[in-house]
Amino acid sequence: MFRTALRNLLAHKTRLMMTALAVLLGTAFVSGTLVFSDSVDSAYRNKMAQNLADVAVSVTSGSAGPDTRDQDRLDSRAVDKIVSLPGVASVRPSVTGTAMVADKHNEPVGNDWGSTGANYAPGKDGKDSRYPLVRGRGPAAEGEIALDAKSARKAGVEVGGTVRLAVDGPVMTKKLVGVVRTGDPRVSAGGSLALFDTATAQKLFGKPGEFSELVVSATPGTDQARLTAQVREALPKTFEARSGKQLAATEAKMIDADTSAIRKTFLVFAGISLFVGVFIIANTFTMLIAQRTREIALLRAVGASRRQVVRSVLIEAGVLGLVASAAGFLLGLGIAVGLRPVLNTTGASLPDGPLVLKPEAALSALGVGVVVTVLAAWLPSRKAAKIAPVEALAAVEQPPAVRSLVVRNALGAVLTGAGIALMLYVTTFKNSSGLQFAMAGSALTLAGVIVLAPLLSRPFVNLCGRLAVRLAGVSGKLARENALRNPRRTAATASALMIGLTLITGLTVAAVSADRGVARMGQQDLTADYKVTSAGLSGLSPEIARTLSGQPGVATAVALRTTGFQSQERPALATAADPRALPSVTDVRAVDGSLTDVRGTTAVAVSDTYAREHGLKVGATLPMAFYDGKQAGPRVVAVYAENDVLSDVLTSTALLDPHLDKVRDEAVLLKAAPGRADSLPEKIKETLGGNPLIKVQSQDDLRRSEAGDIDDVLYLMYGLLGMAVVIAVIGVVNTLAMSVFERTREIGMLRAIGLARREVKRMVRLESVMIAMFGAVLGVGVGVFLAWSGGHLLRSSFPQYTMVVPWARIGLFLLLALAVGVLAAVWPARRAAKLDVLESIGAQ
């Protein structure tokens, strides 16, 4: 039977090609995911090992508020104390912050979150081992700077040239004296690195004489734990000292969490692709067995047992799965290489590193491919084993027994009904606690529709068939009859496409709805014409708001400052702003009291939502425990309607500023004078010296920016689900091609009685279009229903979420399905039209 299985495999290799391709793509996704996650994990660990190679102890400061004592500052005195300890080889001081470098067109060369500034701390050899020099030297004076190679190239500046940059304040120009290499993943993922001498870095990113971190290197043989304990004893308790091993353990946990999340996410989509492939594999073997009925009957007649027939089919499937999986593993290596740059464009910040090939990845991919193929072929093999020898010798393919379709329809109705009931139950939830019910309901609904697909295909195909008959006459009628001839096969082929389109439609509806909600959330209460923010994390200097408020064309400039606090052991946010000017830039409305009473350190206003949750009203005291350890108890003088521009509590700067480590504005909201709005952005940038850190955004800019992240995620999901759709398309091609093989004699008879080649092609194309459109309509319908019912879970945390059906995109999906139907039929239709009439009539 093993030789028989191999002979059948080689005899039908053309018919199995599409099935092998489906298995290949699915296993490629699996192997690519595993190799990619292993490679990223290794790259992270290598970077970590490089960064921590000479780190015995890391010392950082704790809370450094405005009242921090001199002895609690991380400065040269702390360095001297550590250097004097036994076992310390050296202490490397580090200063870091945000620095935005501009190119010749005054555009930032790095992204908002990855533009880093740091100190260049040369050792005894005059070089900093963290930043190997490519050319030039390290910065040694206030007017000098070094850049990483990529940033220097983007800025279009060579050693000796001038670099424009901003840190926190006016634009600076410095001389480029060196270009360095760096392993910082933020830089490799689109950020930039600017290096200064230590004194300049302290001035720019902190306070003169203070450091962000002290990296302690130990002499050979020194115990890290003991040295860490000695460092803790030598320094004030406000400092935090961690050993290199502790840092490595913490980093390892973070790496494991990150790579595990990536692995699980991609494996889910790989599983979807393989699940879609199951339909193709099962369809293929079902059709092959139907075509080999006589052959199987002869085997049974000469003594082959049912078990041997099953084994023969499963061996055939196993060999096919093994060969396709091996090819898929090789393709997966290419996927693993391409995933890193793709994800980095979305801000993933993945480090560079070699491809890591572990035996587990190869074995997993091969095992999954073989198991999926064998399982998909199991039911067709049992069907083959049940063929009675005498009946099969004279039989042709019989339609499914009525009883089996009745049982299937009953089961599908139960599954679909249970799924819909669960999803309707999900709509009663007001928070995410119903997520498990939503997942179960979605799975049941999708499974039920798949089971019911043969029943649902009949009315759809009949409806499409009527249109096809009007448009194509006999070809349309034949196409309809072919699609109706085996509804289970039609349903299985369409279901593969339906699964992909269900997920794509559901994600699209959810993403577009969330996009509209985010736009409403950010702008529904914003009446300002422009919002000025910093591209870095350090915020805006208060001087910027004062500068802009006096500019021609600016009617009002309102600065917003925010900090966190706790009240009744629950975290909250407080915003400081001028309450008298707020109404001109935001639609804030007091429901009790007056916002103009918010002044000094003893009065605040709270949102109505926060007041309701904490039982507050005008006249009540709000206990505020700030994160600098200080507390306040201002009186509530007003309650305002929930406002998306403001946070939970509105305070004065007099109350908020003492609790800020560094007084910075989160944003400045600008209202333009009448008729001056259009020209204001350029004047603002000119006023602020073309600072590359400053972002001036209109309401449309904010809306596009907020929608950009959602669109990036959505397009990534499209790419991941695209593999499942491609496999589904392969399924349509495969089914049609094998159907042509199956109907060779029938097509020959049709040609003999006068059906032209052109009409044969049209017949196959129309059948393909009916199958594709049936899957598309089912997928779109189920996807919209699941998005509608599941969207209710977001209402409590995202009240602005309202379901929006993007009809244009859904129309595009249906057009793409139509194109899929037409393109999938090209090869089968050409083959059908080229069949020799006499040979076809004589085919068995």
pLDDT digits (tens, 9 = 90+) for 452-487: 999 999 999 999 989 988 888 888 898 898 888 888
> What secondary structure does DSSP assign to 467-507, as a single string?
HHHHHHTHHHHHHHHHHHH-HHHHHHHHHHHHHHHHHHHHH
Closest CA to 389 of 504, 293, 474: 293
Quick one: pLDDT at residue 7? 64
pLDDT digits (tens, 9 = 90+) for 750-786: 888 888 888 888 998 999 999 999 999 999 999 999 9
Quick one: pLDDT at residue 149? 92
pLDDT at 400 over 60: no
Mean pLDDT of 597-622: 92
Cα→Cα distances 493→392, 406, 746, Å: 26, 20, 22
Quick one: pLDDT at residue 208? 86
Give residue 261's pLDDT band: very low, low, confident or very high (50, 70, 90).
confident
Mean pLDDT of 32-59: 82
Quick one: pLDDT at residue 592? 94
Q: Name residue 9's amino acid.
A: L
Quick one: pLDDT at residue 399? 46
Find residue 665's DSSP bridge partners: 540
Mean pLDDT of 554-568: 91
Quick one: pLDDT at residue 66? 41
User: Strand 554-567 vs strand 694-698: parallel, antiparallel, or unpaired?
Assistant: unpaired
Quick one: pLDDT at residue 656? 92
pLDDT at 522 over 80: no
All structural domains of the chain with their residue ranges: 56-253, 455-526+701-789+802-844, 536-691
Quick one: pLDDT at residue 413? 93
**Percent of the chain at pLDDT above 70?**
89
Q: Which is more confidently placed, 668 or 827?
A: 668
pLDDT digits (tens, 9 = 90+) for 634-661: 999 999 998 888 889 999 999 999 998 8
Whether the Cβ atoms of residue 75 and residue 211 lie closer than 8 Å to each other: yes
Quick one: pLDDT at residue 152? 93
Mean pLDDT of 689-710: 76
Please state, in angstroms and rounded to a whole number, the distance separating the CA atoms of residues 242 and 359.
36
Q: Which is more confidently placed, 189 or 501?
A: 501
pLDDT at 22 over 70: yes
pLDDT at 8 over 70: no
Compute how many other C-beta atoms are within 10 angstroms of the C-beta atom of residue 700: 10
pLDDT at 437 over 80: yes
> Which residues neighbour 124 within 8 Å (Cβ) at sequence distance 6 or greater?
none
Please state, in angstroms and rounded to a whole number, the distance separating the CA atoms of residues 461 and 463.
5
Least confident among 402-416, 480-494, 562-576: 402-416
pLDDT digits (tens, 9 = 90+) for 143-196: 999 999 999 999 999 999 999 998 876 788 999 999 999 877 677 767 899 999
Quick one: pLDDT at residue 37? 85
pLDDT digits (tens, 9 = 90+) for 658-694: 998 888 899 999 998 888 788 888 888 888 877 887 8
pLDDT at 29 over 90: no
End-to-end C-alpha distance for the chain, whole angstroms: 23
pTM of the model: 0.69
Least confident among 398-402, 807-811, 834-838: 398-402
Please state, in angstroms and rounded to a whole number, the distance separating the CA atoms of residues 825 and 827.
6
pLDDT at 67 over 50: no
Q: Round the average pLDDT of the chain to a whole number and report it.
A: 83
Please state, in angstroms and rounded to a whole number, the distance separating the CA atoms of residues 25 and 334.
12
pLDDT at 278 over 90: no
Quick one: pLDDT at residue 397? 47
pLDDT at 402 over 60: no
Please state, in angstroms and rounded to a whole number, the distance separating the CA atoms of residues 177 and 175.
6
Best mean pLDDT range from 257-266, 326-335, 826-835: 326-335
Sign of CA dihedral 284, 286, 290, 293: positive
Please state, in angstroms and rounded to a whole number, the distance separating the CA atoms of residues 169 and 692.
11
Least confident among 9-18, 274-283, 380-389, 694-703: 9-18
Please state, in angstroms and rounded to a whole number, the distance separating the CA atoms of residues 160 and 145.
10
Mean pLDDT of 330-335: 88
Quick one: pLDDT at residue 5? 55
Quick one: pLDDT at residue 390? 64
pLDDT at 65 over 70: no
Mean pLDDT of 581-585: 90
Q: Which is more confidently placed, 352 or 567?
A: 567
Name the token pair of 60: 């950082």
Sign of CA dihedral 404, 406, 411, 412: positive
Cα→Cα distances 500→673, 717, 720, 763, Å: 52, 11, 10, 26
